[in-house]
Chain A
Protein backbone atom coordinates (compact mmCIF):
# COMPACT_ATOMS: atom_id res chain seq x y z
CA UNK A 1 0.00 0.00 0.00
CA UNK A 2 1.13 3.50 -0.72
CA UNK A 3 1.95 5.91 2.09
CA UNK A 4 2.58 9.64 2.16
CA UNK A 5 4.61 11.31 4.89
CA UNK A 6 4.73 14.98 5.76
CA UNK A 7 7.32 15.40 8.47
CA UNK A 8 6.55 19.03 9.33
CA UNK A 9 3.31 19.36 11.32
CA UNK A 10 3.72 23.15 11.42
CA UNK A 11 5.70 25.74 9.52
CA UNK A 12 5.78 29.51 9.55
CA UNK A 13 7.04 32.07 7.07
CA UNK A 14 7.34 35.83 6.94
CA UNK A 15 5.20 37.59 4.41
CA UNK A 16 6.99 37.95 1.05
CA UNK A 17 9.51 35.23 1.98
CA UNK A 18 9.85 31.71 0.56
CA UNK A 19 8.95 28.49 2.34
CA UNK A 20 9.32 24.84 1.40
CA UNK A 21 7.01 22.10 2.63
CA UNK A 22 8.34 18.54 2.57
CA UNK A 23 6.64 15.36 1.43
CA UNK A 24 7.92 11.85 0.89
CA UNK A 25 5.99 8.86 -0.31
CA UNK A 26 6.37 5.16 -0.63
CA UNK A 27 5.16 3.15 -3.62
CA UNK A 28 6.19 0.25 -5.79
CA UNK A 29 4.36 1.69 -8.79
CA UNK A 30 6.12 3.49 -11.60
CA UNK A 31 3.11 5.44 -12.86
CA UNK A 32 1.37 7.77 -10.47
CA UNK A 33 0.44 11.37 -9.76
CA UNK A 34 1.27 13.65 -6.89
CA UNK A 35 -0.70 16.62 -5.67
CA UNK A 36 -0.59 19.41 -3.16
CA UNK A 37 -3.91 20.52 -1.73
CA UNK A 38 -4.56 23.61 0.35
CA UNK A 39 -7.23 23.64 3.04
CA UNK A 40 -7.92 27.11 4.45
CA UNK A 41 -10.08 27.62 7.56
CA UNK A 42 -13.15 27.45 5.30
CA UNK A 43 -12.15 23.72 5.02
CA UNK A 44 -12.59 23.68 1.26
CA UNK A 45 -10.01 21.44 -0.42
CA UNK A 46 -8.23 23.41 -3.13
CA UNK A 47 -5.85 21.84 -5.62
CA UNK A 48 -2.62 23.84 -5.67
CA UNK A 49 -0.42 21.89 -8.04
CA UNK A 50 -0.07 18.44 -9.63
CA UNK A 51 2.87 16.42 -10.94
CA UNK A 52 2.90 13.44 -13.26
CA UNK A 53 5.54 10.91 -12.25
CA UNK A 54 6.58 10.30 -15.86
CA UNK A 55 7.49 13.95 -16.29
CA UNK A 56 10.97 15.00 -15.25
CA UNK A 57 10.14 18.68 -15.39
CA UNK A 58 8.94 20.12 -12.10
CA UNK A 59 5.45 21.59 -12.14
CA UNK A 60 4.93 25.29 -11.46
CA UNK A 61 1.80 27.34 -10.90
CA UNK A 62 2.52 31.03 -10.40
CA UNK A 63 4.15 31.35 -6.96
CA UNK A 64 3.93 27.61 -6.32
CA UNK A 65 6.47 25.11 -7.57
CA UNK A 66 7.51 21.60 -6.69
CA UNK A 67 10.80 19.77 -6.44
CA UNK A 68 10.05 16.25 -7.60
CA UNK A 69 12.78 13.69 -6.97
CA UNK A 70 11.41 10.38 -8.23
CA UNK A 71 14.33 8.22 -7.16
CA UNK A 72 14.22 9.66 -3.67
CA UNK A 73 10.40 9.58 -3.64
CA UNK A 74 10.33 13.17 -2.57
CA UNK A 75 7.84 15.87 -3.58
CA UNK A 76 8.33 19.21 -1.86
CA UNK A 77 6.27 22.37 -2.38
CA UNK A 78 7.89 25.77 -2.58
CA UNK A 79 5.81 28.87 -2.03
CA UNK A 80 7.49 32.07 -3.15
CA UNK A 81 6.54 35.60 -2.11
CA UNK A 82 4.30 34.23 0.65
CA UNK A 83 1.04 36.05 1.21
CA UNK A 84 -1.28 36.16 4.19
CA UNK A 85 -3.83 34.21 2.16
CA UNK A 86 -1.41 31.31 1.89
CA UNK A 87 -1.97 30.49 5.55
CA UNK A 88 -3.68 27.09 5.59
CA UNK A 89 -3.22 23.35 6.01
CA UNK A 90 -1.32 21.85 3.09
CA UNK A 91 -1.75 18.22 2.17
CA UNK A 92 0.47 16.16 -0.06
CA UNK A 93 -1.43 13.41 -1.88
CA UNK A 94 -0.67 10.42 -4.07
CA UNK A 95 -2.83 8.74 -6.66
CA UNK A 96 -2.09 5.65 -8.66
CA UNK A 97 -2.27 6.05 -12.43
CA UNK A 98 -4.24 2.84 -12.80
CA UNK A 99 -7.98 3.28 -12.88
CA UNK A 100 -9.85 5.90 -10.99
CA UNK A 101 -8.24 5.38 -7.63
CA UNK A 102 -8.72 7.52 -4.54
CA UNK A 103 -6.15 9.89 -3.13
CA UNK A 104 -3.78 8.86 -0.36
CA UNK A 105 -3.03 11.87 1.83
CA UNK A 106 -0.23 12.85 4.15
CA UNK A 107 -1.09 14.17 7.59
CA UNK A 108 -0.72 17.76 6.53
CA UNK A 109 1.42 20.77 7.38
CA UNK A 110 -0.12 23.83 8.97
CA UNK A 111 1.44 26.94 7.44
CA UNK A 112 1.31 30.27 9.23
CA UNK A 113 2.21 33.50 7.48
CA UNK A 114 3.55 36.28 9.66
CA UNK A 115 2.89 39.86 8.60
Chain B
Protein backbone atom coordinates (compact mmCIF):
# COMPACT_ATOMS: atom_id res chain seq x y z
CA UNK B 1 0.00 0.00 0.00
CA UNK B 2 1.91 2.98 -1.30
CA UNK B 3 1.18 6.11 0.73
CA UNK B 4 2.31 8.67 -1.84
CA UNK B 5 2.73 7.51 -5.42
CA UNK B 6 4.05 9.32 -8.47
CA UNK B 7 3.89 8.45 -12.13
CA UNK B 8 6.02 8.15 -14.06
CA UNK B 9 9.19 7.42 -12.08
CA UNK B 10 11.35 8.28 -15.07
CA UNK B 11 10.58 10.69 -17.88
CA UNK B 12 12.88 11.40 -20.81
CA UNK B 13 11.72 13.96 -23.32
CA UNK B 14 12.84 16.51 -25.87
CA UNK B 15 13.19 20.23 -25.33
CA UNK B 16 10.00 22.09 -26.17
CA UNK B 17 7.64 19.25 -25.28
CA UNK B 18 4.83 19.41 -22.72
CA UNK B 19 4.70 16.75 -20.02
CA UNK B 20 2.77 15.92 -16.84
CA UNK B 21 3.68 14.18 -13.62
CA UNK B 22 0.92 12.72 -11.50
CA UNK B 23 0.81 12.35 -7.74
CA UNK B 24 -1.69 10.52 -5.57
CA UNK B 25 -1.81 10.03 -1.81
CA UNK B 26 -4.03 7.57 0.05
CA UNK B 27 -3.33 8.93 3.52
CA UNK B 28 -6.34 11.21 3.72
CA UNK B 29 -4.07 14.25 3.98
CA UNK B 30 -5.35 17.64 2.96
CA UNK B 31 -2.08 19.33 2.01
CA UNK B 32 0.16 18.34 -0.88
CA UNK B 33 3.45 19.71 -2.13
CA UNK B 34 5.79 19.65 -5.09
CA UNK B 35 9.53 19.88 -4.44
CA UNK B 36 12.31 20.07 -7.00
CA UNK B 37 15.70 18.44 -6.44
CA UNK B 38 18.31 19.82 -8.81
CA UNK B 39 21.48 18.19 -10.12
CA UNK B 40 23.36 19.25 -6.99
CA UNK B 41 20.75 17.48 -4.85
CA UNK B 42 19.30 20.72 -3.50
CA UNK B 43 15.62 20.34 -2.56
CA UNK B 44 13.31 23.30 -2.80
CA UNK B 45 9.57 23.81 -2.51
CA UNK B 46 7.72 24.71 -5.68
CA UNK B 47 4.02 24.58 -4.79
CA UNK B 48 1.75 23.73 -1.92
CA UNK B 49 -1.97 22.95 -2.07
CA UNK B 50 -4.42 22.71 0.78
CA UNK B 51 -7.82 21.19 0.04
CA UNK B 52 -7.34 21.76 -3.68
CA UNK B 53 -6.43 25.41 -3.14
CA UNK B 54 -3.01 26.81 -4.05
CA UNK B 55 -1.41 28.27 -0.92
CA UNK B 56 2.27 28.48 -1.82
CA UNK B 57 3.71 29.31 -5.20
CA UNK B 58 7.44 29.91 -5.04
CA UNK B 59 9.30 31.67 -7.80
CA UNK B 60 8.61 29.12 -10.48
CA UNK B 61 8.31 29.84 -14.23
CA UNK B 62 4.77 30.08 -15.57
CA UNK B 63 5.51 27.02 -17.68
CA UNK B 64 4.90 25.00 -14.50
CA UNK B 65 1.23 24.62 -13.63
CA UNK B 66 0.02 22.46 -10.75
CA UNK B 67 -3.51 21.12 -10.75
CA UNK B 68 -5.37 19.50 -7.90
CA UNK B 69 -8.57 17.81 -9.09
CA UNK B 70 -9.28 16.58 -5.57
CA UNK B 71 -7.64 16.35 -2.17
CA UNK B 72 -5.86 13.12 -3.00
CA UNK B 73 -4.26 14.22 -6.26
CA UNK B 74 -1.79 16.91 -7.23
CA UNK B 75 -0.47 16.89 -10.77
CA UNK B 76 2.32 18.96 -12.26
CA UNK B 77 2.15 20.03 -15.87
CA UNK B 78 5.20 21.52 -17.55
CA UNK B 79 4.99 23.37 -20.86
CA UNK B 80 7.81 24.01 -23.32
CA UNK B 81 10.36 21.96 -21.44
CA UNK B 82 13.88 23.36 -21.17
CA UNK B 83 17.21 21.71 -20.43
CA UNK B 84 17.26 23.35 -17.00
CA UNK B 85 14.05 21.58 -16.04
CA UNK B 86 15.97 18.32 -15.75
CA UNK B 87 15.68 17.35 -12.10
CA UNK B 88 13.97 15.00 -9.70
CA UNK B 89 10.48 16.14 -8.73
CA UNK B 90 9.05 14.99 -5.41
CA UNK B 91 5.46 15.05 -4.37
CA UNK B 92 4.69 15.06 -0.64
CA UNK B 93 1.63 15.25 1.56
CA UNK B 94 0.79 16.09 5.16
CA UNK B 95 -2.20 16.71 7.37
CA UNK B 96 -3.11 20.17 8.59
CA UNK B 97 -2.75 20.47 12.30
CA UNK B 98 -0.42 21.83 14.87
CA UNK B 99 2.45 19.67 15.86
CA UNK B 100 5.37 17.84 14.32
CA UNK B 101 3.34 14.71 13.80
CA UNK B 102 1.89 16.17 10.64
CA UNK B 103 5.11 15.10 9.03
CA UNK B 104 5.43 15.16 5.30
CA UNK B 105 5.36 11.86 3.47
CA UNK B 106 7.28 11.84 0.22
CA UNK B 107 6.62 10.04 -3.01
CA UNK B 108 9.41 8.11 -4.76
CA UNK B 109 10.28 11.03 -7.02
CA UNK B 110 10.16 11.46 -10.80
CA UNK B 111 13.46 11.88 -12.58
CA UNK B 112 12.87 14.19 -15.53
CA UNK B 113 15.54 14.35 -18.22
CA UNK B 114 15.19 16.93 -20.98
CA UNK B 115 17.35 16.32 -24.05
> Chain A: residues with CB nearer than 8 A to chain B?
33, 35, 39, 42-45, 47, 50, 52, 89, 91, 95, 97, 99-105, 107-108
Contact = CB atoms under 8 A, between A and B. Distances in A.
Nearest to B104: A103
Given A100-B94, A100-B96, A44 B31 contact: no
A105 B31 contact: no
Contacts of B33: 102
B13 interface: no
Interface residues of B, number: 28
A50 B103 contact: yes
A89 B31 CA distance: 26
Given A47-B103, A89-B41, A105-B42, 13 more contacts: A35-B103, A39-B41, A42-B108, A45-B90, A50-B103, A52-B100, A100-B48, A101-B48, A101-B56, A103-B43, A103-B104, A104-B45, A107-B41
B100 A43 contact: no
Most buried by B among A102, A103, A105: A102
B112 interface: no
Given A50-B100, A50-B103, A52-B100, A102 B42 contact: no
A47 B33 CA distance: 16
